[in-house]
Structure 1
Amino acid sequence: MTRKPTSVSGRRPREVVADTLRERIRTGKLRPGARLPTQRELEAEFSVGRSAVREALAALTQEGLLENVGRGASPTVAESTHHPDAPRSAGVELADRLHEAFQAEDVAVDAFSLTTETLNNALAWPVRQVMDHQLTPRSVTARVLIPSLEARLALPRLIDDPEDPKPRERLHQIQTTYVNALSNSLNSLAQFGTEVTLTVRTVPLTPTHKLYLLNGDEALIGYYQVVKNEEAAFEGEQLALYDVLGLTAKLFRSTRGPQARDEQESSFVEESQEFFDSLWTTIAVPFG
C-alpha cells in the first residue's frame, strides 16, 4: 500500500531497520528460531523511535520472516516452510533475485510499477554486498517505468470522490521520494568502480501489475490487490482511499534459456520484455 514517506533524501527509519534485519536473516546471522533483540535494544542500535521499530517488525512479519510478534517477548526468526517453486512476497523474492542478478558482470534491471518502493527495498542487500566487495558488477543499467501524474489514474483514488486530485498529488510525492532514493542508492556504487545508468520514464497508464526483468533472462510479475486505505495522510489531511498493495504482493518468476521449464515459460519472458520495450520506446516520457 502506498504511504507518504517522511524523507526525500533516502530511506525512512523503518526501512533501514527492516533492511538490516532482513539481511541478517538471509545471510544466516539470525537463524530460524533465533530471538531478535528487544524493541528497546533495536531503538538504541538504530537510533530510531519505537514506531519505526514496530513498523519494521510488522513488515518482516508480513514477508513471513518473523513470528510471535507482539506477544510480550521479542519475535523470533520464522522457520522456512517455503517450497523452492512457490511464489513469495515481492519484498523477499525480488531481493533474492536481484542479489543473484548482481553476480553478472553487466547487470540490467527493467521495472514497471506504481512506485519504486519495492525496488528500493530489494536493492538494499545487493548494494550493500557491492560496498562490501562481495559482489563486483562492472555496470548496472536500470530502466524504470511509473505512471505519470497527468494520467487519469484509476488508483489510488478517494473512496467518496474519484475526481479529487489529492491522491494523485500524494502519489507523485511518493514517486519523487523513492526515485530520488533509488538514484542515491545506485549512484553510490560509482565510488566502488561500478558504472551506473538509471533512466526513469512515465507512462499514462494505471499499473494493474508490477513487472521486473533481470538481465534479459528472468521475469517477475505480481498483481496489485485493491484495498481500502483509510489512514493515508496528505498535507495534514486524512484521506480514505482505494489503494493498492505492492510490497507484499506475490511475485511469479519465469526464466528463459537452459533453466526454463518449457517453451511457454521462455516465451513469457520474451513477451514480457517486448511489452516493456514497447512502452519504453513509444509513449514513455522522462520523469520529472
Structure 2
Amino acid sequence: MNESTGSAPRPTAEGIADTLRTRILGGDLKPGERLPTQASLAREFGVERGTVRNALQLLRSDGLLANPGKGSPPTVSRPKQQSLAGAQMARSILGPRLVAAFEAPHVYVDVASLTGETLVTALGEPLAKVYEGRLRPESVQVRMVVPRPGGTVDYPAPAAGWGADDKLDRAVKQRGLIQWASQRMVLDNAFKGLRDHGIDASFEFRFVSGVPTRKVYLLNRQEALVGHYIPGRFEREIDDYEGADKVELVDVEGFKTEMFPFARSNGRDQAAFVDGEQAMFDGLWEHVARRQD
C-alpha cells in the first residue's frame, strides 16, 4: 500500500509482464489469440500505455508474443520446440512454478544463485495471489545461498581483469553491494507482507566464496530448476565511475539463463536427480555457506 495515499502501488512493466505470462503459460491466452489493445491493458492495470508497451516488449523477448501487424495488438506465439523438455528462460519459468509451490500448505524454497534478482521478480506472482486471498499457505520458508557481494570474483568483473583500473575495481565491487542491498530490502519487505497476512514466513541467506556456475531453485523438495550461467562480455552501467559511457564487464545474464525442470513425480531418474540436488544444497547450507558477519 502507498502510505501517503492508502492506495495500492501501480504495477510495474515487469509485474504486468508476469501477470500476462501466467495467463499465457496457464492457457488463459492461447497460441494465435490476440492480446487486448494497449489502451485496454492500460485501463485494466491502471498504468500509462508506455508501461504496457514495456511489458509487451519483455514478453516478446521471451518469445511469447508474435510481432503484431501495424496498429494491431500482438498475438500469443505458437509453441516452439524446446532444447530440452520444458526448458525456459529463468524469467519465464520461475514465477508460475512458485505459484504452484505456494499451493502447498508448507512451502519450502531453496536457492543457490549469483544474485537474488530473478527470485525478487518471480515472487511477485505468488505474493499477489496471497494478497488477493487466492493462495493461503500456512508457512513459507526460503533459504538462499549467494556469493558474498563486493568481492573479487570471476564475474561480474572488469573485462581487462582485476587490478587494471583500481577505480573501476572499486566501482564494480560497490555495484555488487548496492544491488544486493536493494534485493535484500525487497525480499525483507516481501516476507514482512506475508507475515502481515498471518503466514509463518522466514527468509534466510548465507554466503559462499567464489561464484556459482549454475543457478538452482528447489521447490518443496519435489522439483528442481537448474540452469548453467554462460559468461560473456557485456556493456554495463557503473555508478561512481568517470564518464557516462557503459563499461565492458565479464558477466552473465541471469534472467535469460535457460532453466531445465526436473520433478520427483516424473520417474525414478528425475526423482534421483532432484534428491541429489537437494542433498547438495543441504550440505552447502550446513557445512560451507556462512551467515552474515
Q: Check 1:179–1:227 CA distance in 2 against 1; reply closer, same or farther (3 A cut).
A: same
Structure 2 match to 1:190? 195
Distance (whole Å) between structure 2 residues aligned to residue 225 and residue 11 of structure 1:
34
1:169-228: per-residue Cα shift (whole Å, max 9, x none)? 212211221121122123212232211011011111201110011111211100112232
Distance (whole Å) between structure 2 residues aligned to residue 260 and residue 23 of structure 1:
23
Q: How does 1:152-163 map to 2 (within 5 A)?
A: 152-163=152-163
Structure 2 match to 1:13? 12
Q: Check 1:159–1:47 CA distance in 2 against 1; reply closer, same or farther (3 A cut).
A: same
Structure 1 match to 2:185? 180
Pairing partner for 2:247 from 239, 243, 260: 239
| 1:281 partnered with 2:286 | yes
Q: Check 1:194–1:41 CA distance in 2 against 1; reply closer, same or farther (3 A cut).
A: closer
Determine which structure has greater relative contact order: mean sequence separation of CA pairs < 8 Å that are 6+ residues apart, divided by chain length. Answer: 1
Give secondary structure in 1 for the equivalent of 2:238.
strand
Kindly tell me the number of residue pairs found equivalent between the two proteins: 275
Question: Match for 1:260: what amino acid?
Answer: N
Q: How does 1:249-288 map to 2 (within 5 A)?
A: 249-256=257-264, 259-262=265-268, 264-287=269-292
Structure index of larger Rg: 2
Q: Check 1:40–1:246 CA distance in 2 against 1; reply closer, same or farther (3 A cut).
A: same
What stretches of structure 1 of length at least 5 have no aligned partner? 1-9
Give secondary structure in 2 for the equivalent of 1:285.
coil
Contact preservation (8 Å) 1:232, 1:241: no
Distance (whole Å) between structure 2 residues aligned to residue 172 and residue 253 of structure 1:
31
Q: How does 1:135-174 map to 2 (within 5 A)?
A: 135-149=135-149, 151-163=151-163, 164-174=169-179
Pairing partner for 1:220 from 204, 216, 225: 225
Distance (whole Å) between structure 1 residues aligned to residue 133 and residue 258 of structure 2:
31
TM normalised by structure 1 equals 0.83
What stretches of structure 2 of length at least 5 have no aligned partner? 1-8, 164-168
Distance (whole Å) between structure 2 residues aligned to residue 197 and residue 85 of structure 1:
32
Query: How far does residue 54 in structure 1 lie from its aligned partner after superposition?
Result: 4.7
Q: Check 1:71–1:248 CA distance in 2 against 1; reply closer, same or farther (3 A cut).
A: farther
Structure 1 match to 2:89? 89
Contact preservation (8 Å) 1:13, 1:48: no
Q: Check 1:208–1:39 CA distance in 2 against 1; reply closer, same or farther (3 A cut).
A: farther
Q: Give % identity.
A: 32
Contact preservation (8 Å) 1:101, 1:214: yes
Distance (whole Å) between structure 1 residues aligned to residue 283 and residue 69 of structure 2:
47
Q: Check 1:43–1:105 CA distance in 2 against 1; reply closer, same or farther (3 A cut).
A: closer
1:245-270: per-residue Cα shift (whole Å, max 9, x none)? 111211111222xx1322x3222212
Query: How far does residue 150 in structure 1 lie from its aligned partner after superposition?
Result: 5.2
Contact preservation (8 Å) 1:62, 1:248: no
Question: Match for 2:154: what amino acid?
Answer: A
Contact preservation (8 Å) 1:127, 1:186: no
Query: How far does residue 46 in structure 1 lie from its aligned partner after superposition?
Result: 4.7
Query: How far does residue 113 in structure 1 lie from its aligned partner after superposition?
Result: 0.8
Q: Check 1:173–1:230 CA distance in 2 against 1; reply closer, same or farther (3 A cut).
A: same
Question: Match for 1:143: what amino acid?
Answer: R
Distance (whole Å) between structure 1 residues aligned to residue 284 and residue 250 of structure 2:
26
Query: How far does residue 55 in structure 1 lie from its aligned partner after superposition?
Result: 4.2
> Comparing both structures, which one devotes a greater share of its residues to strand?
1
TM normalised by structure 2 equals 0.81
Which of 120-129 and 38-47 deviates more?
38-47
Give the aligned CA root-mean-square deviation in angstroms.
Answer: 3.0
Contact preservation (8 Å) 2:86, 2:261: no
Query: How far does residue 165 in structure 1 lie from its aligned partner after superposition?
Result: 3.4
Query: How far does residue 53 in structure 1 lie from its aligned partner after superposition?
Result: 4.7
Q: Check 1:36–1:117 CA distance in 2 against 1; reply closer, same or farther (3 A cut).
A: farther
| 1:200 partnered with 2:205 | yes
Distance (whole Å) between structure 2 residues aligned to residue 236 and residue 46 of structure 1:
37
1:35-71: per-residue Cα shift (whole Å, max 9, x none)? 3433897499554584x55543332222222221696
